[in-house]
Amino acid sequence: GQNIDQPTEMTATEGAIVQINCTYQTSGFNGLFWYQQHAGEAPTFLSYNVLDGLEEKGRFSSFLSRSKGYSYLLLKELQMKDSASYLCAVRKRDSNYQLIWGAGTKLIIKP
């Protein structure tokens, strides 16, 4: 079967660092995505990992370990505007590259 797990909610302090984890079990893995979704808005693309390792993009970094079925999104120097839901999605090669989505992690930033 296929399953994607993320924590439901996390809280962090402005200026700090937070790591949001995503674990998955799926066949035909062909990449993992992270999207950000502010309340009442559409999701927007943050990162894509298909090979093991860390991809850094400004304050955001994403890590992938295919052997462990594990990814994390690392947010540094947190700002109040980072309060949002963070969605993890896995692309499957054996389903015409369909995306399978996790339920999302709601991140609350406190001053």
Partner 1 sequence: KAGVTQTPRYLIKTRGQQVTLSCSPISGHRSVSWYQQTPGQGLQFLFEYFSETQRNKGNFPGRFSGRQFSNSRSEMNVSTLELGDSALYLCASSLASTNSYEQYFGPGTRLTVT
Q: Which residues bind partner 1 (CB under 8 A)?
A: 8, 31, 33, 41-45, 48, 87, 89, 91, 95-104
Least Å distance, CB 43 to partner 1, is 5
| Per-residue DSSP letter, 29 | E
**Please, which residue, 13 or 98, has the CB nearer to partner 1?**
98
Nearest C-alpha neighbor of 86 from the set 98, 74, 96: 74
Contacts (Cβ under 8 Å, ≥6 apart) of 107 = 9, 10, 11, 12, 18, 20, 75, 82, 83, 84, 85, 86
**Please, which residue, 69 or 78, has the CB nearer to partner 1?**
69
> Please, which residues bridge with residue 4 across strands?
24
Report strand pairing: 9-13 vs 105-110: parallel
**Please, which residue, 73 or 87, has the CB nearer to partner 1?**
87
Least Å distance, CB 50 to partner 1, is 8
**Please, which residue, 34 or 72, has the CB nearer to partner 1?**
34
Least Å distance, CB 94 to partner 1, is 11
